[in-house]
Structure 1
Amino acid sequence: MAEAAGRWSATHRWTAVLLWLAFVAVATVLGGAVETQSPTAAQLTNGESHRAEQILGRAGLSLPAHEVVLVQDTGGTVDSDRFRAAVGDTVKALNDSGRTADVVSPFDSAGQAAISADRHSALVQFDMAGDALKAEENVQPVLDAVARVAKAHQGLRIEQFGEASFRHGYDAKLHTDYSDAETLSFPVTLGILLIAFGAAVAAVLPVLLAATVVTAAGGLMALASHLVPIDQNGSSVMSLIGIAVGVDYSLFYLKRVREERAAGRGTEAAVTAAAATSGRSVVVSGLTVIVSLAGLYLSGNGVFLGMATATIIVVAVAVAGSVTVLPALLSLLGHRIDKGRIPLRRRARAARGRTGVIDLVLRRPALSLALCTAFLGALLVPAFALNTSDAGVGDLPADSLPALQTYQRIQQAFPGAGSPAKIVIKADGLGGPDGQAALDRLRAAADSTPGLRGPVTFHVNAGGTVGVATVALDGDGTDRTSVAALRTLRETVLPRAFAGLAGAETAVGGTTAVSEDGNRNLSDSTPWVAGFVLLFTFGVMLFSFRSLALAALTLVLNLLSVGAAFGLIVVVFQHGWGEGLLGFTATGGIASWVPLFLFVFLFGLSMDYHVFVVSRIREGRDRGLPTARAVAEGIKGTAGVVTSAAIVMVAVAAVFGALPQLSMKESGVGMSAAVLIDATLVRAVLLPAALILLGDRSWYLPRLLRWLPGGGHTEAAPEPGPVPERDSAEALA
């Protein structure tokens, strides 16, 4: 398929280019005509918090976005006239905004618990009116109203914090940070490619392809979001993966075309040969990445579903562009691909250095295998102590958003006030005497149970059948203190409070509940996702290369590579060894979504290099070369391009790893480390050493499996002749 597509594109060059540009334009226009659909609250939750959203959804309600306004006087108390006047003006401004509901003053009987023990601080509590998912879009008028009150009461601190106001600032900052990272990644990639190829045109071409791939995939993603909603994380990861694989696939193609031309073939013959070899590697690699990403659909987590959909789209588009428009462009450019040459002396020395290391591995495969395995095994050990813990609002440094500084002040005065539990109650007669008695028991428990704090707010629907109560939990919302308080609320307080209300059903949502239920869901689904990825990766490799031993070796090498990366993440982020260098504060754990995300993505992306290298080795084997010589030629022939592709991937991931968001920093640094380990130690040392030691057993296929088709393997093109001396460094690159 890849060869046929490449041959057609090389002979219908302008048609292929125009069709690709038309595809990009149509995808962009169609995507721009619709709004990207974000996940609903129910789609982002699991377990009991998901059940809470379902109860509200059936009742036509949603969990309200809870907000508070901190009124603080460090030099006075809440008893002063100016403090009371400030609180009164705040309550009035909130009510007059038209965007709030259930405003509770600390001087009301229901809000008395919202006065700090030192009486320097008080909280005005309220909910955003309407759908919680739209709250962050509607919160700006409320923020403006609070700001006007603060300006009118100089000398007092009057600041707002809550789910809507935090998300409003948080999403805006992330959008800016992600956009800056994406913008920076392109010139960084171009600089690396200029060094790798030594020619301006050859360096620009992969960047242009990656840019069109990300653009087209962005339009398709907007359309696909109406089937599988995609949040901002999915969009950002799509850009990261799109740039990386778009450049990688172009590198594989360009490497082979330049090599074939250096051997004396014409442009069309070189492009056709590249389509039959590197083009096939791109298809197999892309398929493997897509299969790995599809494993995320088994997680049942709305964020992962969006990530999987977005990245599957961008990888599929990258594969399509690489086997269609790229051969056409290479055919059009011909020898002009080498225009804008830069000196290759340093690149030639680097090539000789790589060759020297590979020669050492090939001469001492057993020693190389033992030393490298021991080193990676040492890196793997810390991974067994991996602990997950959500940073909550601490995912960003406090100095990156004013709202986070407000949150810290609220936590100091009112622990747990910023992230209350939201209790959904379904029962007949909630508005009657029995419902009121149950609510009184809940309020009493909130004031007397360790870990819980009042005031308890409550509102019920018109039919008196579904209500929502809020109660503060100690802790920062996602730490062990908050989780323990949540467990007490669910297992002890609620059963007692609503025992006298016939047919009552309760479910707890809110920040702590969503985090805890999400972690539990990930723990339950991880074995299924990992098993899916392992099984289908094994199947793809078995089908593609018709070797049981090679398919098994692939799993072992990938697991070792990913495990070593996990060990590094634990050392750096869990134990805090990289705090000063990377600018973060260790939380004692890794964000709960990062390990599964990295496992799936790294398992898929590592196949880029693996398939490319093994395909080259298999080509030599198909020509009748002994396994040792096929390995030597395959490894040496791909060393330069694998190194260049890995550097691009590491650089792009590192740009995202420099973001202030801790969870994205963990995933970016983890991806950089894993790709670096994979492209150097695993593919350049472990893979050749293992294949040489296995010898002809590398291609073992049991008789029971010999019915498998050839996986696309055909007799390779005639072996290239000697490479002209002037292009020797270029061929290695």
Structure 2
Amino acid sequence: MGNFSVRVAGWCARRAWWVVGGWVVLVALCLGVGLGVGNRPAVTADYRVGEAGRAEGIAAEGGVGRRPVEYVMITGRAVGAEMPVDAGVVTAVTQGLAGVPGVVAVGEPVWSRDRRAVRIDLTLGVDEREAARAAGEVRARTEAVQRARPEVVVTQTGRASIGRAVEQQRGQDIARVEMITLPVTLVTLVLVFFSLGLALVPVLLALSSIAAAVGLSMVASHVFPDAGVGTNVILLIGMAVGVDYSLFYLKREREERARAGGRLCAVALVDLAAATAGRVVVTSGLAVVVSSATLYLVDDVIFSSLATGAVLVTLVAVVSSMTVLPAALVLLGRTSERRARRVPAGKVTGALIRGIERNPVRTLVAATLVLLALAAPILGMRITDMGPETHPRELAAVQAYHQLTDTFPEVKAIHQVVVRGAGPEATKAIADLALRDPSISGPATVRTSADGRTQVLDLAVPHFVSEQAAQDSLRRLREQYVPAVLGQMKGVEYAVSGDVARYVDYPRHQQERLPWVIGALLLVTLLITAVAFRSVVLGVIGVVLNLLSAAAAIGVLVWVFQGRWAEGLLDFTSTGSIGSRVPLFLFVILFGLSMDYQFFFISRVREAVLAGVPTRRAVFEGMRRSASVITSAALVMVTVFAAFVGVHLIEVKQTGLSLAVAVLVDAFVVRTLVLPSLLLVLGDRVWWPRSVR
């Protein structure tokens, strides 16, 4: 791998202008092709998992699949008073909502018990994943009705409206994150290199890698449909690894330049950097790619979309570091030489070395206990999906949703019993049983397919999906009421879906896949590390330390977000749980990113040992040579990830905080204290089964 890196870097360095120009053309081509073929978004069928997914498949085959519903609520202007309008006004509003594109049915007005509000249900004739656009058209009509009837308050909400508002909020948050991370990253790199030119190189390479990956992800979406999160992960991971890999390479080139003292040309210096840092970049990138690819094992469209984004942007970042970066270093020329002599010595690193040298066992035990303490809250982690009630209340659609559900609690959630091959009498019998349940309210409605073979029973649940009462009612429906009627019938297919079922089945599906993902992740980490350094012991160390690092980060996540103490500090409302997608995504991504620092540090130690330095002294030599790089890279990564803590969406906020904490823990505890201490304790045994020499 080292020879390959040298050959590629040398070829690019000798054709610097051509390579830089070719890279610009390649990025433009990736974007152009992506825009040309277009993005293929995931549809509702792509999200089906578990029993809920099976029920939705049966209903869709019968032509009675679930249609999204938007709710329009009419209330009077006077707070606390009876509604100052008559039925004629309500009829006029209802008529004003008719004929909206995408709306296939306008329900009869439903009055609240106190007669102070009216609800009108609008059924959309589109796929649930396309409902956000249709909801926007409905909103335009709702606002027109509001202008025509100023004597009442007309509000619109629903899952489609909330989804549309969340997507808009996500876009605004991402734009704000970019405004924060770019200048902060640039300032950090200027402080590292004392050169604006050198600082711009990693930032520009990261941005170009992100742009190319976005274009490629559009092409890939025709194989792995885009769940709407691909661009987010490309930005999140791309900025971090893009700057990270460039930083590793730049630091090594500057070190070689300072050591050469002007006796070597720019191409020779690039060759030296490629032989060492280039090899680390390729190996680390491969580790992130393979680790991210284990998310495909979840067999879920969202995780496949996350995996695709992470894999593509990492591959592009590795390619840019191997090709464009050497060319850019040659073009920068003497500027790098002048700046290379201004690298200050690390006093903190010296103090750490002295402390570890005095008692490595005590350092190892103390640091490990700290990590275990941080990881302890995992034992109480509660994983749930996020319902519409968990989204930020600053959004108008979410505010309207809470007003609606306070007035009409029956629209909070729904159970859907799908039956194929049984008569309507069986469906009615299920409804009779279910309506006796204290957590299920009427009236029940039944939709029948055109051929009469498939029925869908809709049952209202006056509880949010996150409430235990709603989940208990689902369990009784699945385990008691439905089997009591259909359990002995031959040739009958049935399953239960609905809002609560989706909420329950999605995390359950992930938990079933979790052993496969973790097993694959541990195996690839062990193999990549063992092969890279020709040591089984180092492979095992890598697995154990990555587990500790990831566990500590997720433990902090649980401590912060499952409680209420940090709500005001981080501006969120605790759901008492962690988003179902967050821990698994973090676990996989952190395993990949954690190996960056480990590979860079161990490669410096191994390099010294190969030069004849005893292992004990080589550990300290590796610390001296890698500390500033790891610290600088960690500061950049923390800046990128921490910026996501300021977004409004709680799952993105959780992800940003965890990644920032993980990088801090990994860089300043695991790779600075635990790993060096462990290497000192093990000595030459770390190179087993063969001597590094």
TM-score scaled to structure 1, two decimals?
0.89
- Structure 2 SS opposite 1:420: strand
Q: Distance in 1 between matches of 2:158 and 2:48?
A: 19
C-alpha deviation, 1:416, in angstroms = 4.4
Corresponding position of 1:245: 241
Q: Distance in 1 between matches of 2:370 and 2:313?
A: 35
Deviations 1:125-145 (A, max 9, x none): 232113332222122232222
What RMSD over aligned residues (CA atoms) do the two structures have, in Å?
A: 2.5
C-alpha deviation, 1:86, in angstroms = 3.6
For the Cα contact (< 8 Å) 1:568–1:670, is it kept in 2? yes
Corresponding position of 2:541: 553
Q: Distance in 2 between matches of 1:229 and 1:259?
A: 44
Corresponding position of 1:479: 467
What letter matches 1:243 in structure 2? M
Structure 2 vs 1, CA of residues 653 and 269 (structure 1 numbering), >3 Å: closer, same or farther?
same
Corresponding position of 1:573: 561
Structure 2 vs 1, CA of residues 343 and 485 (structure 1 numbering), >3 Å: closer, same or farther?
farther
Corresponding position of 2:448: 460
1:513 aligns with 2:501: yes
Corresponding position of 1:277: 276
Deviations 1:29-48 (A, max 9, x none): 10111221122212223101
Corresponding position of 1:267: 266
For the Cα contact (< 8 Å) 2:375–2:554, is it kept in 1? yes
Corresponding position of 1:613: 601
Corresponding position of 1:198: 194
Q: Distance in 1 between matches of 2:83 and 2:660?
A: 57
Structure 2 vs 1, CA of residues 150 and 338 (structure 1 numbering), >3 Å: closer, same or farther?
farther
Which of 395, 406, 415 aligns to 2:409? It is: 415
Q: Distance in 1 between matches of 2:615 and 2:436?
A: 75
1:95 aligns with 2:98: yes
Q: Distance in 1 between matches of 2:637 and 2:58?
A: 45
1:689 aligns with 2:677: yes
C-alpha deviation, 1:221, in angstroms = 0.4
Corresponding position of 2:476: 488
1:370 aligns with 2:370: no
1:44 aligns with 2:52: no
For the Cα contact (< 8 Å) 2:384–2:580, is it kept in 1? yes
- 1:333-732 equivalences in 2 (<5 Å): 333-337=332-336, 348=344, 351-399=346-394, 401-427=395-421, 434-435=423-424, 437-441=425-429, 444-445=432-433, 447-495=435-483, 503-701=491-689
For the Cα contact (< 8 Å) 2:257–2:340, is it kept in 1? no
C-alpha deviation, 1:506, in angstroms = 2.9
Deviates more, 1:58-67 or 1:491-500: 491-500
Deviations 1:274-329 (A, max 9, x none): 10100000011011111111111111111001100111011011111111111111
For the Cα contact (< 8 Å) 1:16–1:325, is it kept in 2? yes
Deviates more, 1:296-305 or 1:13-22: 13-22
Query: Percent identity at matched positions?
Result: 37
1:161 aligns with 2:157: yes
Q: Distance in 1 between matches of 2:648 and 2:126?
A: 32
For the Cα contact (< 8 Å) 1:67–1:160, is it kept in 2? yes
- Structure 1 SS opposite 2:451: coil
What letter matches 1:374 in structure 2? L
How many pairs does the alignment contain?
687
C-alpha deviation, 1:685, in angstroms = 0.7
For the Cα contact (< 8 Å) 1:423–1:506, is it kept in 2? yes
For the Cα contact (< 8 Å) 1:67–1:163, is it kept in 2? yes
Structure 2 vs 1, CA of residues 230 and 197 (structure 1 numbering), >3 Å: closer, same or farther?
same
Deviates more, 1:252-261 or 1:20-29: 20-29
Deviates more, 1:467-476 or 1:292-301: 467-476
Deviations 1:69-104 (A, max 9, x none): 223348699997824234323432333224223432
For the Cα contact (< 8 Å) 1:281–1:615, is it kept in 2? yes
Q: Distance in 1 between matches of 2:318 and 2:341?
A: 32
Structure 2 vs 1, CA of residues 423 and 685 (structure 1 numbering), >3 Å: closer, same or farther?
same
Structure 2 vs 1, CA of residues 8 and 416 (structure 1 numbering), >3 Å: closer, same or farther?
farther
What letter matches 1:94 in structure 2? L
- Structure 1 SS opposite 2:383: coil
Q: Distance in 2 between matches of 1:625 and 1:273?
A: 20
Structure 2 vs 1, CA of residues 327 and 76 (structure 1 numbering), >3 Å: closer, same or farther?
closer
What letter matches 1:417 in structure 2? V
What letter matches 1:141 in structure 2? E
C-alpha deviation, 1:407, in angstroms = 1.1
Deviations 1:318-366 (A, max 9, x none): 1111111111111121222368x7997xx847x2223322332233212
Which 5+ residue runs of structure 1 have no aligned equivalent? 107-113, 429-433, 707-712, 716-733
Q: Distance in 2 between matches of 1:66 and 1:78?
A: 29
- Structure 1 SS opposite 2:44: coil
Which 5+ residue runs of structure 2 have no aligned equivalent? none
For the Cα contact (< 8 Å) 1:238–1:314, is it kept in 2? yes
C-alpha deviation, 1:631, in angstroms = 0.8
C-alpha deviation, 1:242, in angstroms = 0.5
Deviations 1:232-290 (A, max 9, x none): 22210111100100000000000000000000143222110110100000011011111
C-alpha deviation, 1:68, in angstroms = 2.0
C-alpha deviation, 1:467, in angstroms = 4.2
C-alpha deviation, 1:119, in angstroms = 3.5
Corresponding position of 1:307: 306
Q: Distance in 1 between matches of 2:552 and 2:458?
A: 44
- Structure 2 SS opposite 1:584: coil
Q: Distance in 2 between matches of 1:105 and 1:488?
A: 31
For the Cα contact (< 8 Å) 2:205–2:320, is it kept in 1? yes
Q: Distance in 2 between matches of 1:377 and 1:81?
A: 62
Q: Distance in 2 between matches of 1:552 and 1:666?
A: 29
C-alpha deviation, 1:383, in angstroms = 1.6
For the Cα contact (< 8 Å) 2:49–2:505, is it kept in 1? yes
Q: Distance in 2 between matches of 1:49 and 1:650?
A: 39
Corresponding position of 2:229: 233
What letter matches 1:389 in structure 2? T
What letter matches 1:683 in structure 2? R
Deviations 1:46-77 (A, max 9, x none): 10121123224434564211222223348699
